[in-house]
Amino acid sequence: MKHRIVALCMITLLLAACSGIKFQVRREVDSLMLDSFIPLETKVDKAITDPASGTVYALSKAQQQVFIYRDKELVNTIGGLGSMSYNFQRLADIALDSDGNLLALDQMALRVKKFTSGGRYVTAFELEGLIQPELLCLNIDGEMFIYDAAPGEIVNVSLLDGKEINRFGRFQFQNPTALCCNRELISVYSASENKSKVFDSFGQFIQERAGQVLPDVHGNLLLVDKQISSLPYSGWQKADEQQATQLLPILEAGEVSLFHDVLTHSGAWGVNIFKIKYKTAEQ
């Protein structure tokens, strides 16, 4: 009997620990501030920032390269066409894992390559069962979602072995150009339609919104449509019952990425980096 009580206590503590890992305090967005600007000679297709290391990664599909900046200075460049570990056959998208490592999606090679924040090659994940992977996102739990253009589906792929977990959204997308995800939501954005379709992590459709939608780690939706606005968790759950809070105007076109508490906008003249400030519990 004593052993059973001890075992039950251990199981309870283990379950509590696991649930604690998943728990995320919900905090509403308070404001958005321009943190820095990196001027570029050529326009890039996407940029993403790791606030922990202060590293900015800028993707150029035309040059098949990723430019790595720190303190606004170019510190490394990886990529270019080729067969070496740091080369790509067709570089399609980039994302960051929870440790700030760079993940680069090679569409032609059907693999995701992993690099350190400084650009050193680490490993590659083979993408089994995918045909034409185009877009990539990871949540903070390391779950990887990839848009496969051939069947027109979002595929949840294991970061451990590259195997498929599930897929969803077939026939629901029109030329998607960006993915963004948190623990609960996956947003699929189409620039040509200027619309985002939002799904839960199991692939169930939730809603469609105008503009680019980016779910953050606290459950808010950041909305980009000529300006940046925020919609708190209670707001997007109730559709349009709660108005979005306007934060900042966006005066030029360009993709916006989100990682932790930093929005990165790749504009015509360079990369704009915005810091998100969240409300405290007292607010």
pLDDT band at 157 (very low <50, low <70, confident <90, very high): confident
* Burial class of residue 16 (count of CB atoms within 10 Å of its CB; 0-12, 13-18, 19+): exposed
Please tell me the pTM assigned to this model. Answer: 0.87
Whether residue 237 lies inside any domain: the answer is yes
Task: Report the C-alpha gap between 279 and 193 in whole angstroms.
Answer: 33
Q: Which two tokens stand for residue 74?
A: 């170019």
Whether residue 82 lies inside any domain: the answer is yes
Task: Report the C-alpha gap between 39 and 208 in whole angstroms.
Answer: 34
Whether residue 175 lies inside any domain: the answer is yes
Whether residue 11 lies inside any domain: the answer is no
Span 114-139, average pLDDT:
93
pLDDT band at 41 (very low <50, low <70, confident <90, very high): confident
Whether residue 52 lies inside any domain: the answer is yes
Task: Report the C-alpha gap between 238 and 230 in whole angstroms.
Answer: 14
Q: Tell whether the model's pLDDT for residue 16 goes beyond 70.
A: no
Of residues 105 and 24, more confidence is placed in 105
Of residues 14 and 279, more confidence is placed in 279
Of residues 141, 135, 139, 167, the one with CA closest to residue 154: 167
Whether residue 271 lies inside any domain: the answer is yes
The edge-to-edge listing of strands for the beta sheet with 164-168 is 133-138, 144-148, 153-157, 164-168
Whether residue 13 lies inside any domain: the answer is no
Identify the CATH number of the domain in which residue 126 sits: 2.120.10.30
CA angle, 55 then 57 then 63, to 5°:
150
What is the extent of the structural domain holding 198? 26-278
pLDDT band at 149 (very low <50, low <70, confident <90, very high): very high
Whether residue 2 lies inside any domain: the answer is no
Task: Report the C-alpha gap between 73 and 133 in whole angstroms.
Answer: 31
How many domains does one find in the chain?
Answer: 1
Task: Report the C-alpha gap between 248 and 210 in whole angstroms.
Answer: 17
3-state class (DSSP) for residue 191: coil
